[in-house]
Structure 1
Amino acid sequence: MRVTIEPQTEGVLNSDAGSTVRRTVLPSGVRVLTEEMPGQRSVTIGYWIAVGSRDEAEHQHGSTHFLEHLLFKGTKTRSALDIAAAFDGVGGESNALTGKEHTCYYARVLDADLPMAVDVLTDMVTSAVIDPAEMETERGVILEELAMAEDDPTDVVHERFSEQVLDGHALGRPIGGTPEEIQAATREDVYDHFQRWYRPEELVITAAGGLDHEALCQIVAQALEASSWDVTVPGEPAPRRLADGVEIPVQEGTRHIRKAVEQSQVILGGRGLAASDEDRFALSLMHAVLGGSMSSRLFQEIRERRGLAYSTYSFSSAFTDAGYFGLYAGCLPSKVEKVIDVMSAELERIASEPVTQEELTRAKGQLRGGTVLGMEETSSRMSRLGRAELVRGEFVDISETLGQLDAVTAADITRVAARLAASPRAITVVGP
């Protein structure tokens, strides 16, 4: 079943395999979505803000990722050690992620410890102090993180490829910022970014596992009332992100980033599909056939038959108004040209010749199994709720998802592959 999520939708959205999905909008505009999973003793809860690196002002690049670090460094009532000890003391886990279009702070705890997780996460998101001394300490940590990524040629090739296919657009900027931007960031810039986006109407709370929806809403409401936010003023959820309508250019041709490493990293690709594109199910199956497993075409042709690379695969990244795809391989520098030739040939072949029935059946089995097995984790279901609310504006249960996959034909895969193959082609190489 597929359910469209309207701004003020309340109540049960769906039920799937014994679980129940519900959504409530609190008077302040905070949205709470849950999936009650009978028999689970754990809960994963996430606090989502629909702000990512693409939303940063010119003088605030890197601020979204900076905040991901700083919210763990202390609030008006808790130190960084207090935050860490709260989760360590119950055997729980807490972390955060920053994307190009959203940020999420999350925790996984036993069901009995959910009130504690709500209390701590609410405090972090609403009442972080952004202490100047802590910011200087964390500036060094982030610079080390960026240096570590720069030392990994695989990270480098993916980052540079996204810049190449999203040339000049905010989506093409690195999520963590550059070392120069982190060095230049001021406390005022980061705090202004915090004040601009961390507000009740922007907050989405999703949770999955052994929980009671009404009880969680009550706990969240109490935590918000005790926070620094004024939740006595009625509010409505912020509207979902819309495509900006800007045509994003692609730097065609080959971009070579020279690094003194033993192996070259290669990505060939171009413009892909946006997150809500109706062809996304066909795209998933195309990747399963092309480069999603050891039985895929890229793996069999590049590694098994020709011995050109150890690792090879295909991938896609999707956003509100854009997306990109790529074919990746790591190989000796002397084999780069041959690998690119094989990648190009395989892309053209899947875009012009229908996949075999055997390949289609295997790809569907792979994705069906991966989808169902992945949804056995509370963290996956929590993330699914966040994407449903922030990205697509609709909730699709597992049965509907599997039905959409089953409905894809070989002709659909050829059609979507042809869409990708027709886009301007970019090649990024990192190596000597």
Structure 2
Amino acid sequence: MNSQPSVSAAPAVHTLSSGLRVLLAHDPLAQTVAMGYFVQTGARDERRAEMGASHFLEHLMFKGSEHVSGTELNMRLDALGGHANAFTSDEATVYHAASLPEQAPELLAALSVLLEPALRPEDVEMERGVILEEIAMYDDQPESRVFDALRAAYWNDHPLGHQVLGTAQTVAALTPDALRQNFTERYGTGAVTLVATGQLDEAALLAQAETLSAHWPRTAPTRTPRPHTPAPALHRLTDDTLGRLHVAVCSPGVPVTHPLREAAAVLSEIVGGENGRLYWALLDTGLADSADLSHAEYSEAGVFEGGFSCDPERGAEVLALYRDALVTLQRDGVTPAEVRRAARKLAVSTLLRAETPQGQLFGFGMEYLALGRLVTVEEAVERVAGVTPGDVQALLDLRPFDVQVTVALGRTDAVQPLD
């Protein structure tokens, strides 16, 4: 068996008569096939009073259709031998699975049942309890609490501030009718892309997808971008029961379509990646037990988001060093060696993810949802590997770290506002 599948499969997009887009990346050397429905809807597309509806729907999809029970559906997915799962984010919901190539028709049929949910009232009530337990579990985790508070403080009333899980109050109030309305409005074929990678019979897959999607609703996404201008702020959430101080920091980044998108990824790797500047300033010195910075990009905005945890008595010192790392970076820039190392590391990570059909699935699918066009592995690698010190400096010239929204959770007496 070939142990190193090709990573250069050239994908192609087909639009079916139903309006469903199908992105295929055939790799004849692959030993598996991976498929996923990538839906252009997420937490940001919800009405604020219905926060959590997207994640709620994700759960309900696995409860079966009018013709297939939840038990039978899950038995079908399990019998395929591959890992079937789903996730909801701010701007996307994805249902995915993998199997052996000869099982591709059964895999597509089972995945397609997910897109025809019965949304039975009894299933809604059962999953409501599951999700409320999930919310309670995350509420007990300081890392989740501080970042939920950070996003709420940073985004304020912008829909990107919606919590993916929702709140206990909004989830408790979601009715079967409200969930069905959310599904009808946001799951039409205009919002859905089927992505399939690995060893494929492309003609057979297209014909099957045409039949399966023929009766699906034709609605399309109606997302309206909204500008957002954050203001510097410090929010202290005192909880004397916590033994560690948890701090989260957010600054403006660039949107997914910005030409400096890859430079933002390189910059965050230089600062917050393994062996990045924060590691040497805070972890290697023993001042903090965690410290990071990453960049997240959305349709109309992006954010640098990170933070640290430490002994509360060291909170002021560690926060000052964290802030200083960002300010020094913006003032003095980065070195060519730092850019080369970070860009190379990100390029290698992109190639490693693309070595399997499942890795290709997420690369192609998420990029297509975000950009509305195909991005090959070669292009993705070339773009990140080609980031120059000048690109990173152009990003720093936007002065993203002039604005820092900070949330501290725990014993917060030592944490003071930024001068």
TM-score by length of 2: 0.91
Pair 1:280-2:261 in alignment: yes
Whole-Å separation in 2 of the counterparts to 1:60 and 1:261: 31
CA contact 2:33–2:199 (8 Å) conserved in 1: yes
- Per-residue deviation at 1:313? 1.2
SS of structure 2 residue aligned to 1:413: helix
Which residue of structure 2 aligns with residue 264 of structure 1? Answer: 245
Out of 272, 288, 297, the residue aligned to residue 277 of structure 2 is: 297
CA contact 1:59–1:189 (8 Å) conserved in 2: no
- Per-residue deviation at 1:201? 2.3
How many residues are treated as equivalent by the alignment? 405
Post-superposition Cα deviations, 1:103-125, rounded to whole Å, max 9, x if no partner, equal 11111111122211211221220
Which residue of structure 1 aligns with residue 341 of structure 2? Answer: 362
Pair 1:184-2:177 in alignment: no
CA contact 1:22–1:213 (8 Å) conserved in 2: no
Whole-Å separation in 2 of the counterparts to 1:257 and 1:82: 46
Post-superposition Cα deviations, 1:40-68, rounded to whole Å, max 9, x if no partner, equal 12122111221111111244222111100
Which amino acid is 1:53 matched to?
A
Whole-Å separation in 1 of the counterparts to 2:394 and 2:317: 27
Which amino acid is 2:187 matched to?
Y
Whole-Å separation in 1 of the counterparts to 2:254 and 2:43: 20
1:350–1:70: structure 2 CA closer, same or farther, 3 Å change rule? same
CA contact 1:241–1:391 (8 Å) conserved in 2: no
1:335–1:170: structure 2 CA closer, same or farther, 3 Å change rule? same
1:64–1:74: structure 2 CA closer, same or farther, 3 Å change rule? same
SS of structure 2 residue aligned to 1:19: coil
Pair 1:229-2:216 in alignment: yes
- Per-residue deviation at 1:34? 1.2
CA contact 1:95–1:107 (8 Å) conserved in 2: yes
Which residue of structure 2 aligns with residue 105 of structure 1? Answer: 95
Once structures 1 and 2 are overlaid, which stretch shifts more, 54-63 or 165-174? 54-63
Kindly report the root-mean-square deviation, in angstroms, between the aligned alpha carbons of the 2 structures.
2.0
SS of structure 1 residue aligned to 2:163: coil
User: Which 5+ residue runs of structure 2 have no aligned equivalent?
Assistant: 1-5, 412-419
- Per-residue deviation at 1:17? 4.8
Whole-Å separation in 1 of the counterparts to 2:200 and 2:63: 28
- Per-residue deviation at 1:408? 2.1
CA contact 1:240–1:391 (8 Å) conserved in 2: no
Whole-Å separation in 2 of the counterparts to 1:206 and 1:49: 11
SS of structure 1 residue aligned to 2:257: coil
CA contact 1:289–1:363 (8 Å) conserved in 2: yes
Whole-Å separation in 1 of the counterparts to 2:399 and 2:296: 13
Whole-Å separation in 1 of the counterparts to 2:305 and 2:397: 14
Which residue of structure 2 aligns with residue 344 of structure 1? Answer: 323
Which residue of structure 2 aligns with residue 250 of structure 1? Answer: 230
1:108–1:257: structure 2 CA closer, same or farther, 3 Å change rule? farther
CA contact 2:344–2:385 (8 Å) conserved in 1: no
- Per-residue deviation at 1:420? 4.6
Which amino acid is 1:398 matched to?
V
1:383–1:241: structure 2 CA closer, same or farther, 3 Å change rule? farther
CA contact 1:167–1:249 (8 Å) conserved in 2: no
Whole-Å separation in 2 of the counterparts to 1:151 and 1:59: 23
TM-score by length of 1: 0.89
Out of 7, 28, 31, the residue aligned to residue 21 of structure 2 is: 31
Whole-Å separation in 1 of the counterparts to 2:306 and 2:190: 39
CA contact 1:167–1:251 (8 Å) conserved in 2: no
Whole-Å separation in 2 of the counterparts to 1:423 and 1:125: 44
Q: How does 1:368-387 map to 2 (within 5 A)?
A: 368-387=347-366
CA contact 1:268–1:340 (8 Å) conserved in 2: no
SS of structure 2 residue aligned to 1:174: coil
- Per-residue deviation at 1:383? 1.7
Pair 1:409-2:388 in alignment: yes
1:423–1:380: structure 2 CA closer, same or farther, 3 Å change rule? farther
CA contact 2:364–2:376 (8 Å) conserved in 1: no
Pair 1:197-2:178 in alignment: no
Out of 67, 77, 83, the residue aligned to residue 57 of structure 2 is: 67
SS of structure 1 residue aligned to 2:114: helix
Pair 1:45-2:24 in alignment: no
1:21–1:424: structure 2 CA closer, same or farther, 3 Å change rule? same
Out of 323, 327, 330, the residue aligned to residue 309 of structure 2 is: 330
CA contact 1:46–1:382 (8 Å) conserved in 2: yes
Whole-Å separation in 2 of the counterparts to 1:379 and 1:411: 34
